[in-house]
Amino acid sequence: MADDPASAFDMLAADVRWSTFSGDERGKVDGFVRRWRIKPGERVLEPGCGSGRLTDILAAQCGPAGKVMAFDASPRLVRLAQARGLPPHVTLRIANAETVQLAPASFDHIVCFNVFPHLVPQEPIACRLAASLRRGGSFWIAHTRSRIDVNALHRRGPAFMNGHILPTPRKLELLLRRAGLEDIEIEDGADRFMARALRSAPASPSGANGHA
Ligand SMILES: C[S@@+](CC[C@H](N)C(=O)[O-])C[C@H]1O[C@@H](n2cnc3c(N)ncnc32)[C@H](O)[C@@H]1O
């Protein structure tokens, strides 16, 4: 069904390219991981984890004292992730980003890897995901292709994903700000894309920036 990511993305389960990283992709992922600076003991949310090919890497970064909650709308992809035998500090869920239950301020990082364009409607979903970050926590968007290539791929892909577009840096920055994020850095590269934004403190009535 076109508007249901659960069934729409089930097809990726049969495509081995979504289960492993090519050498080129792995080099880019290693670069992203260095930028994410996930520390032992930190809590990581991975929306749209697919077959879990990144989840294992995130789990290694935060270590057994940390936790990774990874979810995906596609039951077939989550089953593939489950079959990887990921460590016990990883929780896998079948869930849609529009409705997944997330406790406020419960994560240090959110990693949207090759998924942000699909999280439609993007602004309300970014807003609800961002609410699950602690103040100062990082929201990451990363792609192993350029923005132009990602969008071209989606435009010529199945009809349901033709409108799943990675916004221009200017539009993305506005979207992330409206989602309660700040200190935004966007790298719109020739062969990759990465954005980082930090969860801002809610405005206090006095205008002071009260940290818990
Ligand atoms: C291009 S795949 C990337 C998967 C994974 N991040 C990777 O790089 O291997 C996009 C994933 O996002 C998932 N997805 C799309 N829309 C979603 C939504 N609204 N909620 C949860 N998952 C979603 C799809 O099921 C699919 O697994």
Q: Which residue's alpha carbon is nearest to atom 6 within ligand 1?
A: 49
Contact 86, 49 (CB under 8 A): no
179-187 long-range contacts (CB < 8 A, ≥24 apart) are 179/123, 179/126, 179/127, 179/129, 179/130, 179/139, 180/127, 180/130, 180/131, 181/126, 181/130, 181/139
Residues with CB under 6 A from ligand 1: 5, 9, 12, 18, 47-51, 53-54, 72-74, 77, 96-98, 113-115, 118-119
| Number of domains forming the structure of the chain | 1
> What's the pTM value of the predicted model, to 2 decimals?
0.93
DSSP 120: S
Q: Tens digit of pLDDT for each residue in 21-75?
A: 999 999 999 999 999 999 999 999 999 999 999 999 999 999 999 999 999 999 9
Residue 78 lies in a domain: yes
- State pLDDT tens for residues 150-207: 999 999 999 999 999 999 999 999 999 999 999 999 999 999 999 999 999 765 655 4
Q: Is 206 within a domain?
A: no
Whether residue 181 is contained in a domain is answered as yes
Whether residue 1 contacts residue 7, with contact meaning beta carbons closer than 8 Å, is answered with yes
Atom of ligand 1 nearest to the CA of 51: 9
Q: Residue 208's pLDDT is what?
A: 43
CA distances from 136 to 81, 130, 131, 161 (A): 29, 11, 11, 32
**Of 96, 22, 93, 108, nearest to 52 (Cα)?**
93
User: Residue 59 belongs to a domain with what CATH number?
Assistant: 3.40.50.150
Looking at residue 210, its pLDDT comes to 39
Residue 52 covered by a domain: yes
Domain that holds residue 93: 5-13+23-199
pLDDT for residue 2: 39
| Residues 3-21: tens digit of each pLDDT | 566 677 887 776 778 889 9
Tell me if 208 is assigned to some domain: no
Residues 6+ apart with CB under 8 A from 24: 144
Q: Return the pLDDT at 10.
A: 82
Q: What confidence score (pLDDT) does residue 4 get?
A: 66
| Residue 211 within a domain | no
Write out pLDDT tens, residues 114-141: 999 999 999 999 999 999 999 999 999 9
Output the CA torsion sign for 96, 188, 109, 69. positive
Q: Which pLDDT does position 11 carry in this prediction?
A: 75
